[in-house]
């Protein structure tokens, strides 16, 4: 798995906060170890209650399993705050191969090399965003590939010149996590 686009899509799809606190890994590991025995089709929660239903399902075009736990056991459970915020316990679990791929991508995400790649990706996305906002890259003004290509080349050169101008003026184009003005506002609209 070296495709950064795949990593980004996998991580963004599964980054939702299913459980509160730091117990996500413990809970999911506990469930998935027991769920890998798919012949049994039974999952066990941290309080040792077994699932009520195990249904095959399709989620975003992929095979998944919906695992349901009883409300009678989940509502009064002292470990409920570690598991879920809802009254009934319903989990969507991926097949083991997809789960292992996801875990490997999450471990790679914590490494320094990934953060360097991610910073580069964020810089490229910022440049594309600036081109769309300031230089209207969303649509081509011209009919024909040659003129459109020429406009793209000139737009790239203009973005480079705007970046150099801001760098020489000592003004950063973007600060992480802050909304900045459009690029043409830095030196005044000319």
pLDDT band for 147, please (50, 70, 90 cuts).
Answer: very high
pTM of the model as a whole: 0.44
Q: Which residue bears the tokens 């290509």?
A: 149
Domain count, the chain: 2
Q: For the chain, first and last CA: distance in Å?
A: 47
pLDDT for position 2:
45
Residues 40 and 56 in one domain: yes
Q: Among residues 63, 90, 109, which one ends one of the domains? A: 109
Q: What is the pLDDT of residues 61-77, one digit of tens each?
A: 778 888 888 878 777 87
In a domain, 190, yes or no: no
Residues 157 and 96 in one domain: no
Residues 132 and 64 in one domain: no
- E strand spans, the chain: 53-59, 62-69, 89-93
Please state, in angstroms and rounded to a whole number, the distance separating the CA atoms of residues 42 and 44: 7
Is the predicted pLDDT of residue 5 greater than 80, yes or no?
no
pLDDT for position 186:
45
Q: Which residue, 190, 187, 189, is CA-closest to 169?
A: 187
Please state, in angstroms and rounded to a whole number, the distance separating the CA atoms of residues 70 and 92: 15
Range of the structural domain that residue 149 is part of: 113-185
Beta bridge partners of 62: 59
Sequence-distant (6+) residues with CB within 8 A of 114 are 108
Residues 124 and 68 in one domain: no
User: Does residue 43 sit in helix, strand or coil?
Assistant: coil
**How big, in percent rounded to 5, are the helix, strand and coil portions of the chain?**
50, 10, 40
DSSP state of 183: G
């Amino acid at each position: 798995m070296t495709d950064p686009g795949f990593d980004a899509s996998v991580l963004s799809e599964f980054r939702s906060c299913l459980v509160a606190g730091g117990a996500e890994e413990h809970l999911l590991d506990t469930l998935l170890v027991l769920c890998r025995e798919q012949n049994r089709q039974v999952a066990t929660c941290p309080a040792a209650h077994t699932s009520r239903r195990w249904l095959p399902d399709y989620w975003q075009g992929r095979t998944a399993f919906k695992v349901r736990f009883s409300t009678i056991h989940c509502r009064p459970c002292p470990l409920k705050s570690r598991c879920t915020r809802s009254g009934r316990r319903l989990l969507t679990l991926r097949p083991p191969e997809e789960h292992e791929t996801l875990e490997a991508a999450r471990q790679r995400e914590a490494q320094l090399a990934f953060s360097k790649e991610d910073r580069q990706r964020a810089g490229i996305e910022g440049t594309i965003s600036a081109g769309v906002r300031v230089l209207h890259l969303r649509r081509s003004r011209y009919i024909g590939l040659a003129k459109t290509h020429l406009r793209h080349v000139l737009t790239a050169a203009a973005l480079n010149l705007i970046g150099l101008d801001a760098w020489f003026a000592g003004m950063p184009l973007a600060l992480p996590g802050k909304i900045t003005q459009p690029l043409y506002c830095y030196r005044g609209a000319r």
